[in-house]
Amino acid sequence: MAAGTSMFADREIVLGVTGGIAAYKAAALASALVQDGAQVTAVLSPNARRFVGAATFAALTGRPVATRSFDPRYPLGAHIELAARADLVVVAPASADFLAKAAAGAADDLLTTLVLCAECPLVVAPAMNAAMWAKAAVRRNVERVAADGATIVQPGTGWLSCRQRGAGRMAEPDEILAALRTVLAARPPRSR
């Protein structure tokens, strides 16, 4: 589909990336969104930068990557400016730590503060070890985040970085894109 006729054409997407090996899939997601016409700004948690560098997302999106709460490029605050212009926020991968913070309304870094500030839809794609995914606390946090209005793209089952097979593998970029299309279809583009 040409960028001009895409569901993502000229939509502002904030892509939050948290720590986990699945961060490499977030790079593929960023690329697919941009190719489909979206304007993407990546927000990397400190742990995400241990897996995939900011330069990767800057190259794929053509935009600076946001990594700090106090960034002089955003005089009003990165969390405020990015949230205000976002049509949608997607967090992929969403770590157990992020889910716990989002469920509790905690805001101790740029991404969690931005999520609290955003008034647009939130889509979350969890990714973690199978033992973590099975924990009652994680399940409660996922349920709370969903109850608060987020769309959850459930993880799949497969080979995990812990060298085991199990549930917790982040959904594939195409599955996440399908969820984003569904969410945006219910929301007309904002006038800019």
Q: Are 88 and 180 in contact (CB under 8 A)?
A: yes
Residues 6+ apart with CB under 8 A from 44: 17, 52, 54, 57, 65, 66, 67, 111
Catalytic residue among 74, 116, 162, 172: 162
Helix (H) or strand (E) holding 13: strand 12-17
pTM of the complete model beyond 0.75: yes
The C-alpha atoms of residue 74 and residue 79 are separated, in whole angstroms, by: 9
Q: Is 162 a catalytic residue?
A: yes
> Which pairing describes strands 165-169 and 156-159: parallel, antiparallel, or unpaired?
antiparallel
The C-alpha atoms of residue 87 and residue 189 are separated, in whole angstroms, by: 8
Tens-digit pLDDT profile for residues 20-73: 889 999 999 999 999 999 999 999 999 999 999 999 999 999 999 999 898 888
